[in-house]
Structure 1
Amino acid sequence: MAVTFTEKQEALVKESWELMKPKIPELSVLFFTTILEIAPQAKLMFSFLKDTDEVPHNNPQLKVHAMKIFKMTCESAVQLREKGEVVVAGSTLSYLGAFHVKKGVIDPQFEVVKEALLRTLETELGDKWNEEMKCAWSEAYDHLATAIKAEMKEVRAKTDA
């Protein structure tokens, strides 16, 4: 099934992504911190956060993990129009599906990540952020989340078989 992602949406995502690239380390921590503000219980899913009551802003593992999530979300969004499907560089959707199943991720948690992403973008982009850009990023994220959830469903079906 071809993905509908307009030229204008692609331009908005690409433009904002280019503006944010130089600040990926800081934005990654903001993104991850926002996830934990929205859903504090999410820290139990990460071995490097289980034994602390604080969000360790200088934790190297958190920075690496947050940067991977943030970068993958943004870069897969940029690929939507070009490829007509979600493309994840450096890993496969099947790996992501299996990993999310192993960690016990459930559908509502994708909404937490989406909310954190949108808040991070809004904070960073300031007056460049508007409803049209929010819709473009929402659409891009929704396609990525749908692709990962489909892989998770396949992994579960194989496990249950």
Structure 2
Amino acid sequence: MGFTEKLEGLVKESWEVLKQDIPHSSLRFFSLILEIAPGAKNMFSFLWESQEIPQNNPKLKAHAVKVFKMTCESAIQLREKGEVVVADTTLKYLGVSKTPISRGIMLMQVVKEALLRTIEEAIGEEKWNEEMKNGWGEAYDQLAEAIKAEMKNHHDETA
């Protein structure tokens, strides 16, 4: 069946809602990551200095926006090209080029769960449905696969 125009539309529509309150969504996103996997805090340099998630941390907000936006863009790529491609600069921005592959893969599953829960809360129960969840989930899964492939390439090149 593939990534349909309807799925892409649902992802884009919900992204527009999410963008309306990025500061709140960003904090919620990272709160959920740490709720699901408290040890993940050590993987985000901008969280090292604090015992809690800092409310006004611009790096946290920028990172969350990047994840939300990259996942939305992945949905667009899936619809247009049938695949997701990430650049090495994306790995550097996310900091995963320095992350051991096994830790990076574990974190990706945690991030997916936190991402979907954050979007569901932001969109609200009346608009959130299985199709929207599947659209975001598929876009994220394809993005994660592309990132894993780049991580492996980067690891192989530096090994």
Name the TM-score class by shorter chain.
0.7 to 0.9
The separation in 2 between residues aligned to 1:15 and 1:47, in whole angstroms, is 31
The separation in 2 between residues aligned to 1:48 and 1:107, in whole angstroms, is 20
Note the residue ranges of structure 2 that are not aligned, 5 or more in a row.
none
Higher mean C-alpha deviation, range 24-33 or range 133-142? 24-33
- Is 2:71–2:136's contact at 8 Å kept on the other side of the alignment? no
CA shift for structure 1 position 57: 1.8
Q: Which residue of 1 aligns with 2:139?
A: 140
Q: Which residue of 2 aligns with 1:103?
A: 99
> In the TM superposition, what whole-angstrom CA distance separates every residue of 1:23-43 from its partner, at most 9, and x where no partner exists?
223212211221111111111
CA shift for structure 1 position 142: 0.4
Q: Which residue of 2 aligns with 1:155?
A: 154
- Is 2:88–2:150's contact at 8 Å kept on the other side of the alignment? yes
The separation in 2 between residues aligned to 1:77 and 1:25, in whole angstroms, is 23
- Is 1:80–1:140's contact at 8 Å kept on the other side of the alignment? yes
The separation in 1 between residues aligned to 2:6 and 2:71, in whole angstroms, is 18
Note the residue ranges of structure 1 that are not aligned, 5 or more in a row.
none
CA shift for structure 1 position 100: 0.9
The separation in 1 between residues aligned to 2:81 and 2:64, in whole angstroms, is 25
The separation in 1 between residues aligned to 2:62 and 2:36, in whole angstroms, is 20
The separation in 2 between residues aligned to 1:69 and 1:139, in whole angstroms, is 14
Runs of 4+ aligned residues of structure 1 deviating over 6 Å after TM superposition are none
- Is 1:29–1:67's contact at 8 Å kept on the other side of the alignment? no
Q: Would you say 1:47 and 2:54 are equivalent positions?
A: no
State the percentage of identical aligned residues.
Answer: 60
Q: Which residue of 1 aligns with 2:110?
A: 112
**Count of aligned pairs between the two proteins:** 154
Q: Which amino acid aligns with 2:129?
A: N
Q: Which residue of 1 aligns with 2:31?
A: 33
CA shift for structure 1 position 157: 1.3
The separation in 1 between residues aligned to 2:118 and 2:24, in whole angstroms, is 10
Q: Which residue of 2 aligns with 1:121?
A: 119
Q: Which residue of 2 aligns with 1:64?
A: 62
What do you get for the CA RMSD once the two structures are aligned? 2.0
The separation in 2 between residues aligned to 1:145 and 1:25, in whole angstroms, is 24
